[in-house]
Amino acid sequence: MGASTLLLTGNIDTIAQMSCNPAIGGLAKGQIVREIDALGGEMAINTDLTAIQFRLLNESKGPAVQSPRAQCDKKAYQFRLKHTLELQPNLQIFQATVTGLLFEKGRVVGCTTNLDIEFRAQAVVITTGTFLRGLMHVGQNKNEGGRLGDFSAKTLSNSLLSAGIELQRLKTGTPPRILGRSIDFSVLQEQKGDAKPTLFAFHDTRENNPLFHVEHTGEKRLGWEPGREQVSCWITYTTTRSAEIVSNNLHKSAMYSGQIEGVGPRYCPSIEDKIVRFADKPRHMLYLEPEGRTTNEYYINGLSTSLPLDVQIELVHSIPGLEKAVLLRPAYAVEYDFAPPQQLWPSLESKKVEGLFFAGQINGTSGYEEAAGQGLVAGVNAVQKVRGGQPMIIGRHEGYIGVLIDDLVTKGTTEPYRMFTSRAEHRLLFNHGSAELRLYEHANYHKLLSNNRLNNISQKISLIDQWVANLEKEKTKGGTWADAIRRGLPQTELPADFKSQSVAVQEEVLYRVMHRGYLEREHRQIAKLREAEKIRLPADMDYLSIPGLRRESAQKLQQLRPLTLGQAGRISGVNPADLSILMVRVAARTRAGNGG
């Protein structure tokens, strides 16, 4: 967007470091990555060019819930993205730990650092991950840090608290890493990548191949042809012996011994949680995933724990194929500060401090993809704040990023929030191939993509609309081409000129034609909901003084201060009767304002 930007980080060498599994995408998360690409973000292209395995999840189901996933080379992903940032115009990277924020008259004006250097800014985005008063647990052992081997940001929390921002604690965890040559692969189930990989970036609308693009400086970034020489992951299971070991040592777990006060992720539970909550299950599936091409380190996906090291070793050795496994890094739990996100406007700007934006795990989310989506939105809106422009607010009907942010700022979260397809009421519209079509207006308005790519997307939209109309209108045996497609016409029998179009165009056209009735129903529902979103609620509305409004609703509305009637309706505890009272109140204020 052309804004002069500074990126402050405690350690430049760990920019883009994947603290947990070096994988990008997954159910709903894969769609978020494609949305990030549609809005000019870097995550998709960086994944495509450093991935070592691609898999399309839910391939046997409908396109609306199919999601791409990729296992990346941990170091290649990190190094390529660091290099990309170094080459980015208008961006300066500097290594320093932020120790506090600078405020003047209710707005943020910069920050202080551990080097006693102050940086001034017109807007600030806070992206602290798990580092805000981060504390790591391995059994009874505690170490300060946001991840193993890294530091903890200990003083920034006090700065936020002094500004009136509420903080709470959350927890997440990570499994042990083991030496690949100590694994017995002969007893494991192999999981290969897809022969034809589903990529994340929209390569069909890009003007050149980013892999072989040499910068004007003569520097060529790290990466390889997507899908080349994919590696395998491996599946194994816990045993009854594994469950016994965990059960017998629960009192030694940092989480179960009461050491950790933060709430853990419900949908990525520790092995302790699995054994306790699902005691009837004889075993739990685990994935052994390589960390990269140039390392022998493996990640045990599904074995997150905070048990002591000696118990971890015994636990790992109880698993088929891992009887002689050598641990390289212990599993650990990390607890950290987060700021309950109802304190934010939908732009991700703080309601308490003007010009201060929050993104990522500080908002209570988990996952690289959720963090990247928020970071992109917060960054765009920080620029718009400085320039006095309109913020970018992605609607719930436009994408998973819109659902994510609306859920956070409207409903909040008491546990690490993870995106699922089930969270989106309009998920039929969110097939991953349509992301740049759905978000084109935002990308165009805020100039997040090159003019060339914007033109290519615009032409793609026109071409898809044209082909949908043609197939619905043009006749063939027994009706229109669209009727024949809905009856199961093989793609090989489609018109030759349609089959000459790009795969991306064909897939989107066929999706719209095949699911026409369902999609039309979704659009009708959205049109109804849009009316509620048009009704703006006054910023100075005193909900506690509105007659007839239930006390619980009034208190929540007073605290969250929704921008529209639609957002008010999504607040937990606000019912249709409350909304009717609000509509009457708004109408009365409007009449009074007009002298009626």
The 10s digit of each residue's pLDDT in 255-314 is: 776 777 767 666 577 888 888 888 888 899 999 999 999 999 999 999 999 999 999 999
pLDDT at 255: 73
pLDDT one-digit tens code per residue, 395-423: 999 999 999 999 999 989 888 999 988 88
Domains of the chain: 5-128+154-170+202-207+336-441 (3.50.50.60), 177-194+221-335 (2.40.30.260), 450-522 (no CATH), 535-593 (1.10.150.570)
Inter-helix orientation angle 368-387/29-38, to 10°: 30
- pLDDT level of residue 578 (50, 70, 90 thresholds): confident
Q: Which two tokens stand for residue 28?
A: 């709903």
Strands (E), 364-425: none
Count of CB atoms situated within 10 Å of the CB of 186: 6
Give the pairing of strands 285-290 and 233-237: antiparallel
The Cα 408–Cα 371 span in angstroms is 12
The Cα 50–Cα 102 span in angstroms is 39
- pLDDT level of residue 208 (50, 70, 90 thresholds): low
- Report which of 140, 446, 427 is spatially closest to residue 309, judged by C-alpha positions: 140
- Report which of 517, 444, 449, 441 is spatially closest to residue 205, judged by C-alpha positions: 449
Give the pairing of strands 297-301 and 285-290: antiparallel
Does the pLDDT value for residue 329 go beyond 90? yes
For the entire predicted model, the pTM comes to 0.91
- pLDDT level of residue 100 (50, 70, 90 thresholds): very high
pLDDT at 166: 96
| pLDDT, average across residues 539-548 | 90
Does the pLDDT value for residue 232 go beyond 90? yes
DSSP 254-292: TTTTT---SBPPTTS--HHHHHHHTTT-S--EEEEEE--
The Cα 103–Cα 84 span in angstroms is 32
Strands (E), 269-371: 285-290, 297-301, 327-329, 332-338, 356-358
Count of CB atoms situated within 10 Å of the CB of 555: 14
pLDDT one-digit tens code per residue, 449-462: 999 999 999 999 99
- pLDDT level of residue 331 (50, 70, 90 thresholds): very high
The Cα 250–Cα 307 span in angstroms is 8
pLDDT one-digit tens code per residue, 352-375: 999 999 999 999 999 999 999 999
Does the pLDDT value for residue 210 go beyond 60? no
pLDDT at 596: 40
pLDDT one-digit tens code per residue, 488-509: 999 889 999 999 999 999 999 9
pLDDT one-digit tens code per residue, 16-46: 999 888 999 999 999 999 999 999 999 999 9
Does the pLDDT value for residue 595 go beyond 70? no
Does the pLDDT value for residue 167 go beyond 60? yes
pLDDT at 267: 59
For the chain, give the percent of residues with pLDDT over 90: 70
DSSP 161-220: HHTT---EEEEEEE--EEEGGGS-GGGSEEEPPPSS---SS-GGG-SS-TTSPBPTTS-B
Let me know: does 128 contact 360? Beta carbons within 8 Å. Answer: yes
To the nearest whole number, what is the mean pLDDT of the chain?
91
For the chain, give the percent of residues with pLDDT over 70: 96
Phi, psi of 345 (to 5 degrees): -80, 165
pLDDT at 534: 85
- pLDDT level of residue 175 (50, 70, 90 thresholds): very high
Count of CB atoms situated within 10 Å of the CB of 335: 25
* Contacts with 187 (C-beta within 8 Å, 6 or more apart), sequence order: 236, 320, 321
* Residue 537 DSSP label: P
Least confident of 66-80, 210-224, 312-326, 475-489: 210-224
- pLDDT level of residue 580 (50, 70, 90 thresholds): confident
- pLDDT level of residue 65 (50, 70, 90 thresholds): confident
